[in-house]
Structure 1
Amino acid sequence: MFFNTYKSSSQSVLSSEDKVNLINDIHELISQRFAGKGIKLIKDLSDEGHLKLRFEVNGEELLHVNVCKQQLKM
């Protein structure tokens, strides 16, 4: 899990693997913590090479982020 292994410092730059692990951990954390409460973080990997994250509360989209796979180097 990213949160348990990441060591922060003023010069730390996230590796591509760290970025992927962080996104996966945030998705898992939100899914587990708020299951059944109408709060969702939806993660979709598209065929076009993009990662799409949508944060919804009671079906209303509050945040939508698209990340190019090349930026993550997945």
Structure 2
Amino acid sequence: MPFVNIKTPEGALTKAQKEEIVHRTTDMLADYFTEAARPHTMVLIEEVKDGGYGRADEVFVVPDAYRAEETA
């Protein structure tokens, strides 16, 4: 069973963007492993809270300008 775990800053993606990532990732894996893998493919998108990760000794907080805006 192919398994993909994507970690992203909380609020950085809309629901529609996350759905698109799931579909496109599943399509990509089905291309590699054949269509037989599609029903067994798991794509997990985990949102990490601000301050819950960092790089080069700097704790990361997503600026408001980079947060996704949900559309109704």
Whether these two folds match at TM > 0.5 is no
Q: In proportion to residue count, which structure has more strand?
A: 1
Q: Which fold has the larger relative contact order, with Cα–Cα distance below 8 Å and residues 6 or more apart in sequence?
A: 2
Normalising TM by the smaller chain, what interval? 0.3 to 0.5
When Rg is computed on C-alpha atoms for both structures, the one with the higher figure is 2
